[in-house]
A = this chain, B = another copy of it.
Amino acid sequence: MATIKDVAKLAKVSPSTASRAMHDNPAISEKTKARVRKAMQTLHYAPDFNAQSLANKRSNAIGVILPVDHHEIFTNPFFLKVLRGISEACYHAQAMVNLATGSSQAELLHSIDIMVTQGMIRRFIVLYSEQNDPILLKLRQLDAQYVMIGKPYQLVNETPYVDNDNILAGSDAAQFLVNHGHKNICFVYNDLKKMVQNDRMLGYQRVMMENGLLINSFELPAQEYPGGRQLVIQYLTQHPEITAFETVDDMLGLRIQQVLRSAKMVTDRQVSIIGFNNSVYSEAAHPALTSVEVFPRRLGNEAAKIAVSLQMSENLSTKLIVPHQIIERHSVATV
């Protein structure tokens, strides 16, 4: 591997000049820069990241923080897609991607500490958004910068983030059902404390109100909760008027679908479903779920682009909204 000294020698300048030329320092004349660039070319020069990080006291790597272990994460392809987007952007920006996960919060906090203090990583992407997240606090304490995927709960104005417009997505989905003639639509969620879910529900509510329709909602607890099935059956029998569900995630849609198919009492009832995230679940379902694609890869990509461009003392925060799109399959019928 050629070093900067080799380049300097070939270009007949000192290493310092070479270094400055490479960083397009205005103190260096265009002529010299050209010579240095040529030398770099012929030697296939590429800087040593570790040496750079050492000298700069700042790594070129981007830290990626996954949420603390949880059944959902493992099964949710969302994160993998986001990772791909991040990886792609970092590739183009010549940045390395450094992963941080932990089975407990303490472990994750420690990981991050190490990345910052020992690895000199200064820019992070946080793949989730949670209320009062100690991880974010830690990052701030360590004086590291971060961009979030999902809208932050705190310091909204100071935090760069990329997200979907979940309110709009929620209303688009509802409007889609309304356009198909549905009037009694139920919104199904998991945990309204999560902003994504809450926002989607707000969007749903807006459309219902605009159309003079009644708001119905139903909380379907996480899969592990055993009584879930029974709850669905109960809800369906108590609300015979409902013809469509808007579920905050495809998974919930799939579960409703399964209940419908197996519970004899409601077997001949035709119910439409629209889900979110366009995940494996929507394709696995039968009929395949119509779903709102949120483009996780794009989310990751944009987040990474912002992260790599973060300067040392940047404090204008970028906010970026990536669009969503309804993917029509076969789970929504016209009434």
Contact = CB atoms under 8 A, between A and B. Distances in A.
Interface of A: 1, 46-51, 53-54, 59, 61, 64, 69, 73-77, 79-81, 83-84, 87-88, 91, 94, 96-103, 107, 110-111, 114-115, 117-120, 223, 251, 254, 258, 261-262, 279-281, 283-284, 286
Nearest to A59: B50
Given A91-B111, A281-B284, A284-B281, A99 B83 contact: yes
A74 B80 CA distance: 6
Contacts of A79: 80
Nearest to A46: B118
Q: Which of A64, A110, A254, A280 has the most CB of B within 10 A?
A: A280
Given A53-B50, A251-B284, A284-B251, A98 B101 contact: no
Contacts of A102: 87-88, 91
Contact of A77 (B47, B76, B114, B284): B76
Nearest to A77: B75
Nearest to A102: B91
A81 B74 contact: yes
A160 to B, nearest CB: 21
Report the 3 A-B pairs with minimum CB-CB distance, sorted nearest first. Answer: A50-B53, A87-B101, A258-B286
Contacts of A76: 77, 80
Given A77-B77, A120-B50, A84 B101 contact: yes
Given A77-B77, A87-B102, A281-B284, 13 more contacts: A1-B117, A46-B118, A48-B120, A49-B118, A50-B50, A88-B101, A96-B115, A97-B98, A97-B100, A223-B283, A261-B261, A280-B280, A284-B284
Contacts of A100: 87, 97
Contacts of A118: 46-49
Q: Which of A75, A81, A100, A111 has the most CB of B within 10 A?
A: A75
Nearest to A229: B286
A60 to B, nearest CB: 9
A82 to B, nearest CB: 10
Contacts of A47: 118
A286 B135 CA distance: 38
B46 A117 contact: yes
7 contacts: A50-B59, A54-B54, A77-B80, A83-B101, A91-B102, A96-B98, A284-B284
Contact of A254 (B49, B61, B96, B284): B284
A88 B84 CA distance: 21
A51 to B, nearest CB: 5
A281 B75 CA distance: 9
A96 B50 CA distance: 13
Contacts of A75: 77, 279-280, 283
A334 to B, nearest CB: 21
A53 to B, nearest CB: 4
A76 B77 CA distance: 7
